Structure 1
């Protein structure tokens, strides 16, 4: 890393950056450690074999947070529990809410609140395969 502009007699010096820079190999590890600490601090436990899953067990059920890099899905019995998780994340990070999940990891999600149904479809994956292979 180059010495910042304005430092005198810096031709023979180098700087070391002690934080992860987005896009580098260390960034993913640093992010996972950081988000894991936030989840632990808010009563979540890792799902064990799947480090992308975090679970919390309040009195009336479970709260699940599935994390894929910097995208996550929060599932809970009540909207209040979901809001609590969102608030905890907002206290720790700058968060951009995208609303209810419609598409993630190649799967379309259709949540019909009136019929209390959740459908997960891979039609795009199938369509891409048909187009690619005929």
Structure 2
């Protein structure tokens, strides 16, 4: 089915069925976001086609969830997120910053062909 017109819809249906069967609820605000809560623990997983990002307040809980998914799909754990769907992440002990500086630089390089002086305000 890979490469067919229906493939994206079928893939989404299969992944959604897996997520729901594992106890995840699909967010009403964003259909790419899945949420699972057990007592005070939570896992948030966002999926875009075959790219995913997971966050949790409990590492052992997250690890067990990923092991369950690995029984169905082969996942690659890439460690702490640095780039996801063009968003760059920078982590400090208290915060996680998201930015798109690489994307902005590429836009400037593409569309800003001559150097212009900024105007004072």
TM-score bracket, shorter-length normalisation: 0.7 to 0.9
Among residues 86, 96, 100, which one is paired with 1:118 in the alignment? 96
Match of residue 106 from structure 2: 128
Matches within 5 A, 1:1-134: 21-112=1-92, 115-134=93-112
**Which digits, 9 at most, give the CA deviation of each residue in 1:33-74, with x for residues without a partner?**
111111111110000242111011121143110001011000
Classify 1:24/1:74 alpha carbon distance in 2 versus 1 (closer, same or farther; 3 Å): same
Total equivalences in the alignment: 112
> For 2:21 and 2:36, how far apart are their aligned partners in 1?
11
**C-alpha contact 2:87 2:100 (8 A) present in aligned 1:** yes
Please identify runs of 4+ aligned residues in structure 1 that moved more than 6 A. Answer: none
> For 2:85 and 2:101, how far apart are their aligned partners in 1?
12
Instruction: Kindly report the root-mean-square deviation, in angstroms, between the aligned alpha carbons of the 2 structures.
Output: 1.4
Match of residue 17 from structure 1: none
> For 1:132 and 1:82, how far apart are their aligned partners in 2?
40
Q: Which has the larger radius of gyration?
A: 1
> For 1:125 and 1:44, how far apart are their aligned partners in 2?
32
Match of residue 11 from structure 1: none
- Structure with higher strand content: 2
**Which digits, 9 at most, give the CA deviation of each residue in 1:57-103, with x for residues without a partner?**
12114311000101100011011121122111101112222222211
Shift of residue 23 of structure 1?
2.3
